[in-house]
Amino acid sequence: MAESKETTPKEHRAGYVALIGRPNAGKSTLLNRLLGFELSRVNRKPQTTRHRILGILTETNYQIVFLDTPGFLDPRNKLQESMVQMVKRTAAEADIVLVLADVTRPIMKTLQFFEKNRLSRPCLLALTKTDLIRKDQLLPIIGTAQGTKLFSAILPVSALRNEGVDALLNEILRRLPDHPPYFPGDVLTDQPERFFVAEIIRENILRYFSQEIPYAAHVEIEEFKERPGRKDYISAVILVEKKSQKQIVIGKNGAAIKKIGEMSRKEIEQFLGRPVFLNLFVKVMADWRQNERKLKEFGYRQ
């Protein structure tokens, strides 16, 4: 990574922190709280995050480059295999690994994952969603995690209520290496606008449909034209794996695709801060989640 050429204080810390956990562990919610703005999309359905999303927190004396990863799970297709490999690769490359475990669900699978994939760098455990259980229920969970001796620190956190977040940030800062910033201070992420536009559309597919449809869908931005004095023009294609899925996404008389378009356009305009014209299409690409070439083309494999 190229380092920032801005003036750097003599005592400055900077490093990469990987956020890792099972689906719906609260990674995106916590990242948004730490950054102070919504970078990662939050959805109650699992597998909302498919790509590694980089969020940068810059202050006078430090810069933390957070890496929000997909939830690790037992893979059932090549797409999910790629997501698990992405998690492992990110953990191995980071300066600090921040493991998230949802205290409202059993945490053993999270602990077993890290027992199998022990890392040489500092690992912190954030026990998330602590506002949803009693304190006497939390103590045995902490004891179980401590027994593994995997973590440098274990911290109860409720990102929703902003409880324990400052303590967590301090633990990260204590372990951050001395280093000049990796990015200029005004950079918040390394992803372009079109990436987040596609994520907004995909999240609305997740929100609107149930069962298999959301997980068989991939969104590609085909055109993104800024038009001064006029609405930006965005053309996006929703790829699904079967003709029956295409019919469902379009809906009777186009009702479903129209609703997804309306929901997405409003959120895209809020995100970009300017009006847009959004055009959505649906295409069938059979078994794309099992296609190595397409997964690489879509950025799921390196």
Q: Is 181 inside any structural domain? A: no
Contact 76, 102 (CB under 8 A): no
**H or E segment to which residue 101 belongs:** strand 96-102
Q: Are residues 165 and 203 in the same domain?
A: no
Q: Are residues 206 and 89 in the same domain?
A: no
Please tell me the predicted confidence (pLDDT) of residue 158.
95
Q: Are residues 163 and 268 in the same domain?
A: no
Looking at residue 33, which CATH number applies to its domain?
3.40.50.300
Tokens of 195: 């990436």
| Total domain count, the chain | 2
Q: Are residues 71 and 217 in the same domain?
A: no
Write the DSSP assignment of 36-57 as a string of letters.
TS--S---SSTT---S-EEEEE
3-state secondary structure of 276: strand
Q: Are residues 137 and 105 in the same domain?
A: yes
Q: Which residues contact 250 (CB under 8 A, 6 or more apart)?
A: 256, 257, 282
Please tell me the predicted confidence (pLDDT) of residue 5.
46
Q: Are residues 247 and 288 in the same domain?
A: yes
Please tell me the predicted confidence (pLDDT) of residue 87.
83
Q: Are residues 142 and 243 in the same domain?
A: no
- Count the Cβ atoms, other than its own, within 10 Å of residue 112: 11
Q: Are residues 19 and 162 in the same domain?
A: yes
- Domain boundary among the residues 142, 175, 208 is at 175
98, β-bridge pairs: 19, 124
Q: From the first residue on, what is the mean pLDDT of each consecutive set of 10 residues in the chain (302 residues)?
A: 51 94 87 83 48 85 92 76 82 93 93 82 94 93 94 95 96 96 89 88 87 78 92 96 93 95 95 94 90 80 56
Among positive and negative, which fits the CA dihedral 210, 73, 51, 31? positive
d(CA 243, CA 246): 5
Expressed as residue numbers, the domain containing 290 is 193-297
Q: Are residues 65 and 165 in the same domain?
A: yes
